[in-house]
Structure 1
Amino acid sequence: MPIMGLLNKITCLIAKELKMTLFDDIYGRTFPFAIGFDRTFQLLERAATTHPSVTYPPYNIVKEDDENFSIELAVAGFDKKDISVSKEKENLIIEGKSDESDKEFVHKGLAARAFTRRFTLSDDVEVGKVKYTNGILTVALTRVIPEEDKPVSFKIS
């Protein structure tokens, strides 16, 4: 490998580490002062990746606006009847069990193994519509802020 190519890769790696370090540093310094900071995504991410080798099924967390977001799981190969979505206290639990025992495969390239995904939801998050389209399971989530917790503006006299 030419030396410039190697230096370029090292520079990119250092830049990525610097960006992450800078974010972690800023986050660490501002978190104690961030009153009302929305930790919902942080909780969802932490709960979904409690074990580093758990990557199946892959998922996205999509923020649509300040109150609405969704979790998308790629579960191709599963039937609707093979998937269950439930909520126990603050835990959103998505489970899939594939019934392929009667099938004989020449080649099996689609992963359809059983899975359980747990997401920890904030107290103010409600589970909405759950839909399954083209191998993607989408769980709509809404952050409902009670009136007494909403920001209030005061007139200065």
Structure 2
Amino acid sequence: MRTYDLTPFYRSTVGFDRLFSLLDRATPDGGTGYPPYNIERTGDNSYRVTVAVSGFAQNELSIVAKENTLTIKGEKTAKVNGQDKAEVLYRGIAARAFERAFQLADFVVVKNASLENGLLHVDLVREIPEAKKPRSIPITTTAPAPQVVDGSAEKAAA
């Protein structure tokens, strides 16, 4: 059984409708939700993907944007021998490698990525080229302009 519903996102987003459709179809029921993430709309054409990556350092994360796919990978580096001598009695903090891929809508580009307090923020902006933007077309008429007859020719002849 699915634990989340993407229906509200369909109504309130522009540019990510294809992303939500792919997420809806691609995520199998009972699939792993690691690492958890949020997708936020921060403006008319700007979005933010926030991924919870607690325990990962900046050099253990990679972000790759290729065509219409944003891929975020995390891989823990191995500890140097003798550096960590503590015996772990219970491991509740996940430290496994992950790869999370997002399908981006057309003309969505990655602007910035930042890591703060265990959250990786990836800022996206939808930049539509001028050639693809809607433009206003002036309406012209082909009918001849109406002629005004004021009777001045008859007065001149008289």
In the superposition, the TM-score normalised over structure 1's length comes to 0.67
Rg comparison, structure with higher value: 2
| Aligned with 1:43 (options 3, 18, 27) | 18
1:141 and 2:124 aligned? yes
Q: Which runs of 5+ in 1 are unaligned?
A: 1-19, 28-36
In the superposition, the TM-score normalised over structure 2's length comes to 0.67
1:63 and 2:37 aligned? no
| Aligned with 1:84 (options 62, 70, 77) | 62
Residue of structure 2 in register with 1:111 after alignment: 94
Give the drift of 1:137: 0.2
Greater Cα offset, 117-126 or 145-154:
145-154
Percentage of matched positions with identical amino acids: 36
Decide whether aligned partners of structure 1 residues 140 and 120 sit closer, same or farther in structure 2, where only a CA change above 3 A counts. same
Residue of structure 2 in register with 1:4 after alignment: none
Give the drift of 1:139: 0.5
CA shift digits 1:36-94 (9 cap, x unpaired): x94x3233334456233031100000101121111000111111111100012211100
Is the 1:48–1:118 contact (alpha carbons within 8 Å) kept by the matching residues of 2? no
Aligned length: 123
Residue of structure 2 in register with 1:129 after alignment: 112
Give the drift of 1:151: 2.5
Q: Which runs of 4+ in 1 moved over 4 A?
A: 46-49, 100-103, 154-157
